[in-house]
Amino acid sequence: MTSPVLSTKLFIPPPRPKTVLRPRLIEGINEGLHRKLTLICAPAGFGKTTLVSEWSAGCGRPIAWVSLDSSDNDPLRFIRCFISALQTIIPHIGRGITGILDSPSPPPVETILSALVNELAVIDKKTILVMDDYHLIESHEVDQILAFLIEHLPPKVHLVITTREDPNLPVARMRARDQVTELRASDLSFNLSEAGEFLNDVMKLNLKQEDIASLENRTEGWITGLQLAAISLRGQKEPGEFIRGFSGSHHFVLDYLIEEVIKQQESHIQSFLLCTSILERMCGPLCDELMENPAGTGQKKLEYLEQANLFVIPLDSERRWYRYHHLFADLLRQRLHQIPPVLSSMSMEMT
């Protein structure tokens, strides 16, 4: 028997009163609603949830929402969340299935999913389900459940997923079938015009155009980076001087990236990030040489970093060469200089 779903997990976050409207992205989502899935995948702080909240306010279709958390890695609980979200707009859907989930000995998951798909198939109006923070799902069984549901989604049901890392779903196959719309970090990043609107209209900074361009270039359009810079700029008598020195070692940026990104990684990934941060650009063999790794796992680690959206940017279409986001590299290098012996000495030898 699974516990009830917290009602607050099913609330649609209200749009922020002061925000940068993003019609180009909203149009992209709307144009893809004929597909099965909209996948919004980018690192922390790129405005994924904010964008979907803004879009949902003007979508014109019934929208169900569930904010996932680590407890939803239980397969039956995940199914309950899926149904509970839909019940906020279609109260009768899945009632019989939730009764089965409450039984001491529920039937096999396959039986439950078949019953759920049959109920989805009779939905008579175009409906959208948003699953926010899917990166918190680590269960292979839950991935399989969602893949099955996506595969068998009826035409009137559309799924939106936000996540910090690529989900373990058949996205490549869906891409080949034109069944998925994807928005990535490169899409979500603020362009120069959006950065200017955010800094001057939303944050009320009244910056010069060259200062806006400098910050946009330094943050590479990373929204949280711009916000943290804007907070730091309040009360600065010489904003231009501050902007020229703004980096990933600034304490607001440092605190955010450590809490939201670095600490979430296993120790061997943290070590890899720190060691390779001294490289302006990197490939698998170069990383192996740097880390004295005869196993030759550098390329796999780089591919993992890209899949996990760990602020790594591919430099070619073959995915051989990469670099770190400027602010992320600043942070890693500062951390590298703060830690002792092995990693630091390795860094000094390479520089």
Mean of pLDDT values over 304-315 = 90
What is the pLDDT, as a whole number, of residue 193? 96
> DSSP string of 15-56?
PPSS----HHHHHHHHHTTTSSEEEEE--TTS-HHHHHHHHH
Q: What is the pTM of this model?
A: 0.85
pLDDT over threshold 50, residue 351:
no
pLDDT tens-digit map of 273-305: 999 999 999 999 999 999 888 778 899 999 999
Encode burial over 284-306: b for 16+ CB neighbours within 10 A, e otherwise: beebbebbebeeebbeebbebbb
Give the mean pLDDT of 255-274.
89
Residue 177 clears pLDDT 50, i.e. is over it? yes
* pLDDT reading at 344 higher than 50: no
pLDDT score at 340: 58
Higher pLDDT, 85 or 311: 85
pLDDT at 2: 66
Q: How far is CA 171 from CA 37, 89, 143, in A?
A: 9, 27, 12
**How is residue 12 written in tokens?**
């649609």
- For 76, 96, 113, 214, the CA distances from 105, given in Å and listed in that order, are 12, 15, 16, 61
The CA distances from residue 124 to 28, 58, 127, in Å, are 25, 21, 9
Element (H, E) at 157: strand 157-163
- In angstroms, what CA-CA distances link 97 with 77, 102, 116, 128, 345? 12, 9, 7, 20, 59
Q: What is the pLDDT of residue 1?
A: 59
What does the pLDDT read at residue 309?
A: 87
In degrees rounded to 5, what are phi and psi of residue 263?
-65, -15
Q: One-letter amino acid identity for 316?
A: D
Query: Which domains are present in the chain?
Result: 7-188 (3.40.50.300), 192-246 (no CATH), 257-350 (1.10.10)
Compute the mean pLDDT over every residue in the chain, rounded to the nearest whole number.
90
Cα distance between residue 327 and residue 254, in whole Å: 9
SS3 call for 80: helix
| Over residues 38-51, mean pLDDT | 95
CA distances from 342 to 16, 27, 258 (A): 46, 50, 21
pLDDT, residue 263, reads 87
What pLDDT score does 92 carry?
94
Q: Residue 324: helix, strand or coil by DSSP?
A: strand
Compute the average pLDDT of residues 38-48: 95
Confidence check: pLDDT of 28 > 70: yes
pLDDT digits (tens, 9 = 90+) for 104-155: 888 999 999 999 999 999 999 999 999 999 999 999 999 999 999 999 999 9
d(CA 75, CA 109) in angstroms, rounded, equals 8
Percent of the chain with pLDDT strictly greater than 90: 69
Pairing of strands 312-314, 322-324: antiparallel
Q: How far apart are CA 178 and CA 196, in angstroms?
A: 35
Of the chain, the percentage scoring pLDDT greater than 70 comes to 96
Worst-scoring range by mean pLDDT, 37-46, 245-254, 310-319?
245-254
- Count of Cβ atoms closer than 10 Å to residue 76 Cβ: 17
Place of tokens 């001491």: 104
**Per-residue pLDDT reduced to its tens digit, 197-211:** 999 999 999 899 999
Q: Compute φ and ψ for 71, nearest 5 degrees.
A: -70, -20
